[in-house]
Structure 1
Amino acid sequence: MSKSIGHMIASSNPQKVLPKNISAKNIPDVLIHEIIDGVPLYRKGYREVLAKTKTVEEIMGCSSLQFFIIDYILGILYPVINRQKYIIATNEAGLHLDRRNNLSGDIMIFDKNVLTIDKIDTHYSQVHPMISIEIDLDVELERFTENGYITIKTQKLLDFGTDKVIWFLTKPKSVMIATKDNDWRTFSWDQDIEMLDGICCNVGKYLKEKGSEFA
């Protein structure tokens, strides 16, 4: 994948953006997962919440496959990462890029020399992570294609100052790695992926070892 963000942004098969008789101003903020260029991106399943067939709590969490992969990655990171140097953020850690852009992430690794104690408060971080790791998409794809969303979010993170963005995508069983100074690469997840400082993971191999049908 190249660095261009001009391709595959708009959905080729756009859905109705909102349910009938529902306007954006009537949608609770809790159903907004992210904001990109001033446009709210809603959580997967928000339509069911508006239709009262699901509760907010039922759509808030990630899938068991997603948290299984997150647990695996964190299990590698925590024992060996330099905790004096880095902070690991999880649980939909929020980033405030500017007044028109709020993003969230599954796993973010911050440099403590950048995210200093005086920058830690009760709001979204206004400091860029060194590494952002994403497992699948958690938004309804109404304004973007999947590739378009991944591309624009990745570019936003890199422009904000993130050194590396890693996407693990469970349906194609692939990994996409993007860095500031190199072409973006996509390949099978059945190989070692360096997260930082020589710390690697291999999601495909791990799932096979555990006997997962998704390996």
Structure 2
Amino acid sequence: MIATKSGVQGRKPKTKVPEYLIYEIMDGKPIHYKGYLEVLAGTKTFSEIMGSSALQSFVVAYVQRLLFKELSEDDFIILSSESGLHLDKRNNLAGDILIFDNATLPIEAIDEFYAQVPPKVVIEVDITADPTDVTSDSYIFQKTEKLLKFGVEKVIWITTQAKKVTVATPNDDRDGGPVAGNSWHKDVDILNGISFNIGRYLTQKGSPFA
């Protein structure tokens, strides 16, 4: 996930960064994968910075199961695994879980390129953008604003370290940022009456991270 330059930490490399280390493009500027500087320094491989934590993957799988169970394939398409969104020539973003209306993204529009139409809902689990490109708060706000202006009806951010869920819609008064995050022990509506409660689910499963 990506944002723009604000509160930059560390030094940017002077050498050209390979394209495979670029996670997103926002306002024409590259947002790199978190840890890309370590790859350039040779202390980590690309595969080492690409993988999600077990907790992140567990949360994504939980939400996906709910959606696959409750949403009809006749009405919705669910894309995941950092699916790409082409907003315009200066903005290419990615999302962990994208929920499209079939009328917006018909099967013939699903090809080898980024989707070019807005999902109804975007769900993000943690931040993939490197902090040398943008601070977490700035990234969440800027990416959320771009997605909503693109036509997304709801953006949901899940942060596993803070155990928070942030929800933003076009009608929110964000006044400089997305609505404040709530505890992930609260029910969160996705769409069509489908909701999740990560804290409760983790507690039921006996996770020490609930």
Tell me the TM-score normalised to structure 2 length: 0.91
Q: List aligned pairs for 1:144-155, cutoff 5 A.
A: 144-155=134-145
Task: Pick one of 38, 56, 66 that aligns with 1:48.
Answer: 38
Mapped pair 1:208 → 2:203: yes
Task: Pick one of 61, 65, 69 that aligns with 1:75.
Answer: 65
Question: Is the contact between residue 9 and residue 147 of structure 1 (CA under 8 Å) also seen in structure 2?
Answer: no
Deviation per CA, 1:10-68, whole angstroms, max 9, x where unpaired?
Answer: 21x532122xxx42xx2111110111101111111211211122211222221111101
Residue 153 of structure 1 aligns to a residue whose secondary structure is helix
CA separation in 1, counterparts of 2:79 and 2:139? 22
Question: Is the contact between residue 80 and residue 95 of structure 2 (CA under 8 Å) also seen in structure 1?
Answer: yes
Question: Is the contact between residue 121 and residue 190 of structure 2 (CA under 8 Å) also seen in structure 1?
Answer: yes
Deviation per CA, 1:72-96, whole angstroms, max 9, x where unpaired?
Answer: 1111111111210100000110001
Tell me the TM-score normalised to structure 1 length: 0.89
Counterpart of 1:186, as a letter, is G
Measure how far apart 1:9 and its partner are: 6.8
Structure 1: runs of 5 or more not aligned: 1-7
Counterpart of 2:209, as a letter, is F
CA separation in 2, counterparts of 1:34 and 1:74? 23
Measure how far apart 1:143 and its partner are: 3.0
Task: Pick one of 146, 154, 159 that aligns with 2:149.
Answer: 159
CA separation in 2, counterparts of 1:48 and 1:142? 12
Question: Measured at CA, do residues 67 and 14 of structure 1 come closer, stay the same or move farther in structure 2, by a change above 3 Å?
Answer: same
Counterpart of 1:191, as a letter, is K
CA separation in 2, counterparts of 1:68 and 1:213? 13
Question: Measured at CA, do residues 79 and 96 of structure 1 come closer, stay the same or move farther in structure 2, by a change above 3 Å?
Answer: same
Task: Pick one of 194, 198, 206 that aligns with 2:193.
Answer: 198
Deviation per CA, 1:149-186, whole angstroms, max 9, x where unpaired?
Answer: 00000000000000000001112211100001123352
Query: How many residues are matched?
Result: 202
- Which residue does 1:5 correspond to in 2? none
Task: Pick one of 64, 70, 85 that aligns with 1:95.
Answer: 85
Structure 2: runs of 5 or more not aligned: 174-178
Measure how far apart 1:206 and its partner are: 1.0
